[in-house]
Structure formats: structure tokens, C-alpha cells
Amino acid sequence: MESTPEQRPVPRETRFDADVARYAARARGMVASEIRALFSVANRPEVVSLAGGSPNISGLPLDVVGSLLNDLVLDRGVAAMNYAVAQGYPPLREQILEVMRPVGIEANADDVVVTVGSQQALDLVTRIFCDPGDVVIAEAPSYVGALGVFAAYQCDVVHVAMDDDGLIPDHLDTAIASVIASGRRVKFLYTIPNFQNPTGVSLPQERRHAILEICRKHDVLVVEDDPYGLLGFDGEPNRALRADDPARVVYLGSFSKTFAPGFRVGWALAPHAIRDKLVLAQESATLCPPTFSQHVVSSYLERHDWRGQIKSFREMYRERRDAMLDALDDFMPASMTWTKPGGGFFVWATLPEGLDAKAMSPRAITERVAYVPGTAFYADGYGSQCLRLSYCFPPPERIREGVRRLAAVVEQELELRETFGPMHLGPGRGVESPGPGLT
Amino acid sequence: MESTPEQRPVPRETRFDADVARYAARARGMVASEIRALFSVANRPEVVSLAGGSPNISGLPLDVVGSLLNDLVLDRGVAAMNYAVAQGYPPLREQILEVMRPVGIEANADDVVVTVGSQQALDLVTRIFCDPGDVVIAEAPSYVGALGVFAAYQCDVVHVAMDDDGLIPDHLDTAIASVIASGRRVKFLYTIPNFQNPTGVSLPQERRHAILEICRKHDVLVVEDDPYGLLGFDGEPNRALRADDPARVVYLGSFSKTFAPGFRVGWALAPHAIRDKLVLAQESATLCPPTFSQHVVSSYLERHDWRGQIKSFREMYRERRDAMLDALDDFMPASMTWTKPGGGFFVWATLPEGLDAKAMSPRAITERVAYVPGTAFYADGYGSQCLRLSYCFPPPERIREGVRRLAAVVEQELELRETFGPMHLGPGRGVESPGPGLT
């Protein structure tokens, strides 16, 4: 007797879906970020996206890049297209020392490990240090991609409050002491000291010293993530934490914002013993980072005026930052606050009391403007009153238009709140984990 | 009072070295492979290296590649040099379907995830499936880079015996049953069905069916690693396991051997639910695989006769395989055996009884020939009587010279054995885990 459709066994295609027990425990921490869900709508042409963090690289001289690539293939294509050592192309590691010099770092090329963007550097650092349940200390709020890595390795993130000068040293001291007192292991402090993602704020020099002192006292490693360090709008770059404590700091750098992200070339500079472990981890993860990309970046640094290019990127981003701050001043209600970044890509804004950035997001999309709700940047559900506004990608007039649209949405929300009371709120309001920009 | 040098505290630079407790438990599994240690000596010009696995890409038309790169930058450089989606460049994912067609795979581009070489595909698959202590079944011997990944995720590898037709189905059945009976979880079978690394042997079609049937019976996932599938020297490519059971098999592919490894472009083709997890894991590991590399490969596939290029690679490798087999026949003592690969890069040789490949390796280097001792390809210390000989990189006359030198070393070892008895032996002699090439 033939089986009817109802009697047929469940088709095999669905079995791995159904059987979640098959996956590793860590796979439970792998969930789509709030940013990702936004991007399909944010990328529609009619929407002004203040959501993305992609650099604007349209200023790169494509003719120069094209011709140096052609030369690269003809001159040393066979080497540039084959496997190479896991630690990275030695001449590039030397050149990376030059790139780190403006932030005060003196190092040996032997302590540099090239990675698939600095994202992979963070992945490898977490891989070698963190067992499930280990604690990572991070700013509140922090980079969403870092929180994703920590979740994937089943770390517990403990956020430390910031103000307009970044991480607050006293809170850091208390947080570390309290984690240690509870018998848990703090594996490292993860910090973005310059033009932080998502807040745009930077640590002043004296706080850097205080933070290093606290980490020394508690014997905690520092992971210093510095993708925006050379993209400051005023004066000289800030001195890296790594420059003042080479043995305690793993420094992560990237060419994604100073050249182009599509080559996926970043690096970690680490104390020697950690460097060894990172190379082994890299070998196992990829055999070697993309050889060709490394040759491209090396050739670009050698043949192009990369310092001049960064200068022109800085000017372009400064103009966009100004457009955003001016528009915020011009259009936003007085009860809204925001940070004033001195570099980088982001402004962190706090909505008027009683408004919820996540609940407001669909309404903003309807009004053709996108941003990232603040909760994406907290491991603990805080940040619902906040949002990240990026000025890196749209041109100034689009930024102004986007902020104008957003201000209209905020005004509507305020009217609704007047009429119906506060919106739905997340578990935390940023009171216990205050963010910057509230002053 | 000033401290004397002896009284000074240990300098801070050494602390992370000293404090191994700081690292994650998984970092203990990250050790330098036996291959790695060899490479610095094997690369000396006077040494004939039969150790490496790098493809010989000197046949690639550099003028074509150079000009397509130049056009790529000028035509769509801004997109090719920026971030992109974590799953991979959509046109490339479509083209990958074409590349998999010769091995009988029909699939949807939506189930392809682009990775940083197929090494990273294996890393991500292991990441989403394996908790510490989970069991991975692998051929005996197996790919050293896969064993490194499994160690880094703290998996236990259970090897299954092979013969000249690859993995032996009955042994696989017994091994899986016995692991399950002991209460441990088998997460997947890892297999290289075509021209296996390190043995060069391939699974005949009927064994493929038997293996799939066994994995269905025990409900075990199959990870099919197929970097050499299109590099067969005779007839049509073998049909992939994936072609006959799309829901049970994760197929890993690579452009490293059919185009060039330096772009680091590989892929995983996975059942839909697993595909979702892989994309999330990729996002967390790298944000996205190298955009530019993906555009290069896509442009290469579109504009170059890639099938013709693979044909010419095949002819070049066949000539080298022949050179190696002829030299082995001409120079080696009768008590030595080896496999006869029908494609790929490797011959697996078994030394005469009483000889140890690892102990012999320094003497071979002295005689200016390098190979990889068999123990590198076992997670359990077996393989000491065996060695891997690569014919992929040196030209035919160098291969012949290398085998001639190696045969002289083997003859010397045999004389020593006659005089002094057997060499130092590893824990296993390949009796419990027999390898191929013994017949």
C-alpha cells in the first residue's frame, strides 16, 4: 500500500533544524545582531541610513590602486597568490610598525600577527583566553561585533559605566574587584579608547594611566581595539595604552578605516608569549591570512601617500560629523542629548525620558531614516533609551536630511507619550549603566 | 638601598609566559604541527622538499590575472574594497554551483557560505558543532590541518582504518557504534573522499554509498572535504557524497588548488539550518570573508577559461605523480610500499619493518631531502613507520632526485637496523590503525 502524503516520514531536509541538541553549546550564543536585521531595510535607496559603520572609501584613487595591483601580479604574483606563513607577510609587519608610530607605539615586527580584519584578531584573542563563563570587562555600551565574539565563546560580559570622557576608572576598579570577589575569572578588559564605537568618546591621557594602573593592580590584561585612532579631527593622535605598558596590552589595529575594509587586513600586537598562541590559533583558523590582500596593503603603503590619504579621509569625516552635529542642534528637541565626537564615525544619542529607541525604529524606517537602537551595544539589555547615529557613509546633505526626518519621528513620539504615557521599555534604562552624552 | 640585579622583580614582559593558567583550556590543544617545524629547513634551496602541500601555480597566466584585477578595481573597486555580507558575494556563490557541478552536486546558492579558504570552513563547522570531549571520526591517517582544528576545539578524534580504497566501511560502522555505546557523542565523520591528504587514495562509488548508509543508520553528519576533487588524472571526477545525500553532508570546497590559495577563498555547502549557523559564526569570526578576494575569484571564473586551466594543472601534476612513482620504483628497496594516487598531490609510503620515519627525518634533511613523518597525520601517535611524499611543488627532475636521495637514506637505515636492531618506535605501528599502501 502506498503511503498518503500525511503518512510519509518527515523529509530528511528538516532534521538538523529540528535537532538543536546536535549543535555545540556555544552555538546558542550565536544570534543575529540587531544591526543585521536592520540592514536589508536600511539599504533601500529612499532610506537615509545612519545605521551602518562602513567607511566611505569613494575617495581612494582607483587608478593608483588598479595599477599597483597589476604591477603586483606581474612582479611577484606567484608568491602573492600562494600560501604564506600564518603570522603574516614580513614586510607588511614591518610597515605596520610605521602605522602604529603616530600613537606612540614602539614594537618589534616579530610581535605583530596579521589577521582577517581586526575582527578576527579579537576572535583569536578571545579563543586563546576565554573558557565558558570567564568574564570580559567592556565599556557600557560597547562594539556590537565584540559582544558577538564574546557570546560565541560563552564569555560573560560585565559592562562598566562611561561618561563623556569614556570608561570611568573608579567604576572599572569596583567592577573588577567585585567580579574577583565573587570567585570568577576576569580574562581581560576590552576597550576602544579612541572615538569609541558606538559612543564616539575618547579617553583623556590621565584616564589611560589610571586604567592601566587599575589593570596592573588586579593583574588584568587589556585588549585595546583601535580602528579609529588615526581618524581624529583635532591635533595629534592620542597615545595608545599599549605605548605605556607593552607587557599588559594586546593592541588591535586595522586597515579597514584608513585604507579599505574589503581586503580584510588587521593585526594584533601582543606580548611575545601571547603572540605565539595567536599564530597557532591563526594557523588552525585559516592556515594563513589572505596572502594577496597582505601584498596589496604592503604595496599600497609603499607606493601611495597613505598619510595624505588618511588626512583627506579625516577632512571628509569631519565635514560629516559637523553636518550631523549642526543638524542635531537645529532639529532635535531640547530634551534629547548626544555626544560630540572628536573623530571616528559615530554619535551616541539619548532620547527624551520615556522614549524607547527600539520601539521607535520601525516608525523611523517608515519615515525613511535608519539608526541602530542602543540595546545592540549592551550584553545586558540596557540602552533602550539610546541610539547610535553614524555619519561615516552618507554625504553631508543626506545626513542633515536624515536627522531632520529623525527629529520629526522623535517629536511624534513625544506627542504620543504626552497622550498615552511612556512607551514599552527594555529591562534597563541606562541608570545603573549610564552611558555618555547625558550631560 | 638599591636592589641588585638578582633581587629585582621578574620583569613584567615574562608574566604572561609564566602564567599559563591565564589561557583558555582550548589553548593547550594549540601546538605547532610537525609540518611547521620542518618548513624552515625544508625551504632551503639545496633541500628537495617533498614535504609541502603548496600547489604549483606558476602556470597561471599572470598577464590575464593582472589585467582582470586592474579592470575590477576600475569597474567596481569601491564595492569590491568595502565590507559585504558575511555569507559571501552572491554572484560568486552562483558561480560556485558551476564549480560543484562536475562532482554531481545540484544545490542552491543560498546554501553556500564563502569562507577564508576551506580551512576556515572546517573551523566554523567544528565551532558550531563541537563541545569539548565530543568525538569526530576521521580517516587514519587524516589531514594535519583538520586535526589541528579538532584539537583547538578540544574534540576527541577517533581514527578509522583505511586501505587502498580509503575508509573501510565495516570499521567505520564498528567505530561509530562503539563510541555511541560508550556514551559519547559523535558529532560528525570528517572525510576527504578524493585523493586524500595524506594518502592519495580515493573512495570507490560503492564505498561512498556504504558510508552514507552507515552514517544514516547512526544519524551522524558527514563533513566532506574535497579540495582535490577536480584534480583527478583519469576519467571523470568522482561523484561527491553530498550529491547523494544533501541533508546529511556538509561539503567543503576550495579554490586553493584549482586557482590560487593566496586569495583564501573556500566555501561550505550545508543544509539550510546549518548554513544559518555558519553565517552567524562567520559574522562573528571575520564580519565577512575578504570581499576583494571574492571579486577576484568571481572575475577569474567569468573571464578566464578556468576549466582549461584546471586541465593544464591536472596534466602538470600527473607528470609529477608519474615522476615520483617511477623514481620510487627505480630506487626504493623492495621492502618499502606506497600508494598509487589517481590524482591530487600526495603519495603515502610505508617504510620497511623496524624503521621510524620521524627518527629518520633529520638524517634525510642532512641528505637534502624533506618529507613529513606519518605521525603528523594521526591524533593518536600512530604512523611512525609511514611518511607523506608530495609531488605537487618540485619539478619532475627534482622529484626524481629527491626520491633518489631518500632511497639512499632508507638503505642506510636498513643497514643500521641490520647492525644495531630496530630504531626507536612510536606508540603505535599502524597495526591497530592500518593505513593504505601496505598491500
Residue among B131, B110, B80 nearest B290 (CA)? B80
- DSSP 8-state secondary structure symbol assigned to residue A26: G
Task: Say whether pLDDT at A432 is over 80.
Answer: no
Q: Do A145 and B284 touch (CB under 8 A)?
A: yes
Q: What is the pLDDT of residues A189-234, one digit of tens each?
A: 999 999 999 999 999 999 999 999 999 999 999 999 999 999 999 9
Tell me whether A28 touches chain B (CB under 8 Å).
Answer: no
Assign B18 a pLDDT band (cuts: 50, 70, 90): very low
Contact B285 A285 (CB under 8 A): yes
Question: Which pLDDT does position A217 carry in this prediction?
Answer: 97
Sign of CA dihedral A99, A103, A105, A110: negative
* H helices present in B103-168, as ranges: 117-129, 144-152
Is B76 an interface residue toward A (CB < 8 Å)?
Answer: no
- Compute the average pLDDT of residues B216-228: 97
Residues A248, A217: Cα–Cα separation, whole Å: 11
Residue A75, number of CB atoms within 10 A of its CB = 14
Only one residue has cell 542552491, namely: B108
- Asked if A21 reaches chain B (Cβ–Cβ under 8 Å), the answer is no
CB-CB under 8 Å, B273 with A16 = yes
CB B128 within 8 A of CB B274: yes
pLDDT tens by residue, A169-188:
999 999 999 999 999 999 99
B415, with CB counted inside 10 A (0-12, 13-18, 19+), is: exposed
Confirm if A222 and A193 have CB atoms less than 8 A apart.
no
Q: What is the pLDDT of residue A7?
A: 44
Q: Does A32 touch chain B (CB under 8 A)?
A: yes
- Show Cβ contacts of residue A59 under 8 Å, excluding neighbours closer than 6 positions: A309, A312, A313, A316
**pLDDT for the residue numbered A429:** 40
Q: Write out residues 49-68 of B within 8 Å (CB-CB) of A.
A: 54-55, 57-58, 60, 62-63, 65-67
Q: What pLDDT is stored for residue A145 in this prediction? A: 96
pLDDT at B437: 57
Q: Cα B188 to the chain's mean position, in Å?
A: 17
- Which among A24, A74, A83 is the nearest to B127, CB-wise? A24
The answer, for A31 touching chain B at a CB cutoff of 8 Å, is yes
Cell numbers representing residue B200 in the block: 592519495
Q: What's the pLDDT tens digit per position in B405-420?
A: 999 999 999 999 888 8
User: What local confidence, expressed as pLDDT, does residue B439 receive?
Assistant: 37
Mutant choice from B39, B69, B118, B300 vs A, greatest count of A C-beta within 10 A? B69
pLDDT in tens, B353-390: 999 999 999 999 999 999 999 999 999 889 999 999 99
Q: Are B136 and B151 in contact (CB under 8 A)?
A: no
For residue B23, the chain A residues in CB contact (below 8 A) are 128-129, 277
The grid cell for B223 is 563533513
In this structure, what C-alpha cell is assigned to residue B98?
Answer: 558551476
Residues of A within 8 A of B119 (CB-CB) are: 285-287
- Among chain B residues, the shortest Cα distance to A32 is held by B280
Collapse the DSSP code of B335 into the 3-class scheme (helix H, G, I; strand E, B; otherwise coil) and give the result. Answer: coil
Task: Provide the ipTM.
Answer: 0.92
Output the pLDDT for position B40: 74
With CB atoms and an 8 Å threshold, state whether A73 touches B65. Answer: yes
pLDDT digits (tens, 9 = 90+) for A42-75: 778 899 999 989 999 999 999 999 999 999 999 9
Q: Which of A221, A286, A296 to mutate to test the interface with B (most CBs of B within 10 A)?
A: A286
Chain A residues 79-98 with CB within 8 Å of chain B: 80-84
pTM: 0.92
Closest approach of chain B CAs to the CA of A438, in angstroms?
31
C-alpha cell at B35: 609540518
The residue among B218, B292, B296 with the most chain A CBs within 10 A of its CB, best to mutate, is B292
What per-residue confidence (pLDDT) applies to B429?
40
Q: Establish if B272 touches chain A: CB-CB under 8 angstroms.
A: yes
